[in-house]
Chain A
Amino acid sequence: MKGGEVMQGVEQMQYVQFGVGEESYGIRIAEVHEIIRMQEITEIPNCQFYVMGVINLRGKIIPVISLRALFSLDEDVYSKATRIVVVHHQEESIGIIVDRVYKVTTFHDIQPPPERVGGINGAYFTGIGLTESELVGILKIDEVLLRD
């Protein structure tokens, strides 16, 4: 995605804001398919460390990944607030486990991402969104999901 596009749509573009660990992150609402409560996860042996397994989403089997694992945070602790954000990625649905989902929000300004964002590779982000009170790392879904 070009930076210009982000800037242009600042006023109207909406983001789902959620938390992982201490930090706050956002995903463009257009990329989010749905948000569901934590489900029973069936583990898949011998696959990438951040793929927690698969879930049954109304008869569809979809993989779920852990942002905590990807961001090298402590192991997941699932609580009542834990949610799975289901996104579309290359014609597949993929679930992203997050600690909590806050709200749908807009940013009055979006800054280009620095090289590292709180110890995490800056390439994962399209920018840093600014609200009145906080900084939100806007995730570049393609980059987050495309690992090899």
Chain B
Amino acid sequence: MFDNSEFRQVFLEELEEQIMTMEEEILSLEKQGSHSEGIQRLFRAAHTIKGSSAAMGYMELKQLTHEWEHLLDMLRNEELEMTRELTNLFFQCLDFIKDLQNSIIHEELLPDPSAVIKELGRFSIANTESVAAAKESAGEALPEEAEQLLREYIHSGQTVYTITVKLTEDCMMKLARISIIDISLRAFGEVLWNEPNMKLVQDDQDIHAIRWLIATQEVEPDALEQAVAGLMDVQSVRVEAAMPSQPEAETAAVLELEQENVYMLPGFAGSVAQEEADKTQQSKASVKQQTIRVNVERLENVLDLLGELVIDQTRLKQAIQTLYQAYGYSETMDDLGEISDHLSRLIGSLQENVLKVRMLPIEQLFSRFPRMVRDLAQTLNKSVDLQMVGGDTELDRTLIEEVGDPLIHLIRNAVDHGIEMPKERVRCGKPEQGTVRISAAHEDNQVVVVVEDDGGGIDTNKLRKSAVAKGVITAEEAALLDEHKALRLIFHPGFSTASQLSDVSGRGVGMDIVRTDIERLGGIIDIDTTVGVGTKFTIRLPLTLAITTGLLVKASDQTFILPMSAVVEIIRVDTSTLKMIKGSPVIKIRNQIVPFVWLHEMFGYSRTEGSSDKIPVVMIGRAEQRLAIAVDQLLGNQEVVIKTLGSYVGKVDGISGATILGNGRIALILEIGGIMKKASGIS
């Protein structure tokens, strides 16, 4: 059999990229209404997939994109108009392409696309006639005087756009509207020509479409489009780069000869413009693409090797120390020390650089949300505006993968439980459309991701009642909680605030899972809410999961590592000062009562070291929670390369990973959230 696995990989990568583009474009078409660039990009994506899938022999995919492309072509030529129904059909198509993609990835039998293809076909036939009839003068060739001007201006290096504006049917004062559009267009450049001529237009005249030819310098078509689209009574705007339908250099004779033909070929001018657009797109792309694609596995390998290098360097240092103690000072020893120091610095900066390579903009993750929010809002009959800020914030690729699920959960919650129904919102004096805002930013050595909504907020009293009813806390405890602590109740296992479970977020996965996920990544989640105003979740994450500073401790002859970020202080405690509260040991530090555990007991090991009176105790903290962990011995702190235990071992309570120490031994890295949970389980 022909082995196409290598091509398949490339094909799949490209397919993924095109799917992302398509989703983005359909969403933007839905949001901003039909615009030619969007449809053009969508068309190009469908076309690319069609080509590559045909080459790979995925005929199902080829057929589907072929049909879609046909529909898009009609849209492009304004033979068809963008409707909500069409948007939904486009999403349906895209979902089917995703299904196909999945089947290709898993090398399964491809599903039959004929139902979707039929739907697409139905659309193109049903709509052609009606729309074609209503088609305006748009896209027609320009009169010779305009052609002339167009050639002149393009020759002088300016960009000329054709702007076609359609007014709504029921527009009352057309002339006034057209003048306003005219004025706002003149702000961008010189209007060369327009049709119909405004001086000749009567106010009651029946016009829907007006065309301008405008010469500009360094104005993006989008800007023009936005400027006009925002005006009153404007139904649609189309901005296209205008090109003379006849190349200037041609001789007059040819011009005369071919003029007729050219004018009779609608779309010729368009196709030149399109090619031009393609070119600009390409030149833009070539500027942007100072990058290369690298297989993730190779990247991981580099990091693995680097990890080994770090370990060997630590060993080298130890060996030099031993040598120095054994043989004392000599010139060679001095050299060796110097080389080792230099090596350390090199490895340090190498490490920094490799970690940077692994960073990706969080945009990758953000791009998944608009579609999700749209679908969700539609199901719930809510109107939601999703705002995303800081998509260029970079963080470790593993983190991006891992933080996806908790973020999705928060966003779904915000749309489902946060944002009220439109009627309810209006009643409260809020805009009908709710807003969900996601932002990401770097802060110190952390990434802060915020998910906020302007919904109903969370009533802490309801939380208290609900918590008591569910037996999470007693009524007395509930009364004692301050606002913030009461709010944090929603992170408690098995807690859901929605009075009725909805299909959307009430799937048995509560906020406690979100918290656990975030904490497993070494992050913190916090919540802030105002009833009637909204809710805000703030997530703080480390920049990388690959390397961390850890405190090495010994318990039951095993080395464990506590992430330094969680260590509050280290103390020596006289065992006789331990007190018992409700049968569990606590220690009193500066008037604060802190629960106390032995590390070895927590994992069910026996203690190996003889008990001295003063034992080393590491105090760890997370938010306001504190825990004192007694260990057998403190070994100091060092940078450690975090390795996972692998998917075979899976998630282990209280362990986030492991590292290889300088002596080649493995030490487990403790996970603070899990440890705290475990400790409260013990006591």
Contacts and interface: CB of A to CB of B under 8 A. Distances in A.
Interface of A: 40, 42-47, 51, 54-56, 59-63, 89-90, 92, 94, 145
Given A56-B660, A89-B648, A44 B668 contact: yes
A59 B303 CA distance: 11
A45 B604 contact: yes
Contact of B308 (A44, A55, A59, A92): A59
A63 B666 contact: no
A125 B500 CA distance: 49
16 contacts: A42-B658, A45-B604, A45-B605, A45-B654, A46-B652, A46-B653, A47-B652, A56-B660, A59-B305, A61-B645, A61-B658, A61-B660, A61-B666, A62-B646, A63-B646, A90-B648
B558 A92 contact: no
Given A44-B668, A55-B666, A92-B648, 13 more contacts: A42-B667, A45-B604, A45-B654, A46-B603, A47-B650, A54-B666, A59-B660, A60-B304, A61-B644, A61-B666, A62-B646, A92-B647, A94-B648
A56 B664 CA distance: 7
B658 A54 contact: yes
Contacts of B646: 61-63, 92
A145 B649 CA distance: 11
Contacts of B652: 44-47
A96 to B, nearest CB: 12
Contact of A145 (B648, B653, B654, B658): B648
Nearest to A89: B648
Contacts of A61: 643-646, 658, 660, 666
B655 interface: yes
Contacts of B510: none
B655 A44 contact: yes
B546 to A, nearest CB: 14
Q: Per DSSP, are chain A's interface residues mostly helix, strand or loop, or mixed?
A: strand
A145 B603 CA distance: 24
Nearest to A59: B308
Closest A-B pairs by Cβ, 6 of them: A45-B603, A59-B308, A42-B666, A63-B649, A61-B643, A92-B646
B665 interface: yes
Contacts of B654: 45-46
Contacts of A51: 649
A46 to B, nearest CB: 5
B307 interface: yes
B605 A59 contact: no
A90 B646 CA distance: 11
Interface string B274-316: 0000000000000000000000000000001101100100000
A60 B311 CA distance: 12
A42 B668 contact: yes
Nearest to B603: A45
Contacts of B660: 56, 59, 61
Contacts of B650: 47
Contact of B558 (A42, A55, A60, A145): A42
Q: Which of A47, A62, A90, A145 has the most CB of B within 10 A?
A: A47
A42 B650 CA distance: 16
A44 B655 CA distance: 9
Nearest to A41: B666
Among A43, A55, A61, A90: residue with most chain B CB under 10 A: A61
Name which of B305, B647, B667 has the most chain A CB atoms within 10 A of its CB: B647
A90 B647 contact: yes
Contacts of B643: 60-61
B304 A56 contact: no
A54 B665 contact: no
B401 to A, nearest CB: 16
B645 A44 contact: yes
Nearest to A47: B652
A11 B644 CA distance: 41
A9 to B, nearest CB: 19
Nearest to B664: A56
A42 B603 CA distance: 13
B558 A59 contact: no
Contacts of A60: 304, 643
Contact of A40 (B644, B648, B665, B668): B665
A62 B667 CA distance: 13
A40 to B, nearest CB: 7
A44, A45, A51, A92 pick with most chain B CB within 10 angstroms: A45
Contact of B304 (A44, A46, A59, A62): A59
A40 B558 CA distance: 12
A65 to B, nearest CB: 9
A90 B647 CA distance: 9
Nearest to B647: A92
B273 to A, nearest CB: 49
Nearest to B312: A59
Interface in B647-679: 647-650, 652-655, 658, 660, 664-668
Contacts of A89: 648
Given A46-B653, A61-B658, A56 B648 contact: no
Interface in B577-636: 603-605
Contacts of A55: 666
Contacts of B667: 42
Interface in B551-573: 558
A145 B305 CA distance: 28
Nearest to B659: A61
Contacts of B664: 56
Given A92-B646, A94-B648, A42 B665 contact: yes
A40 B667 CA distance: 12
A63 B558 contact: no
Contacts of A44: 645, 649, 652, 655, 668
A47 B604 CA distance: 12
A47 B650 CA distance: 9
B305, B643, B645, B648: residue with the most chain A Cβ atoms closer than 10 Å:
B648
Contacts of B304: 59-60
A59 B311 contact: yes
Nearest to A54: B666
Contacts of B668: 42, 44
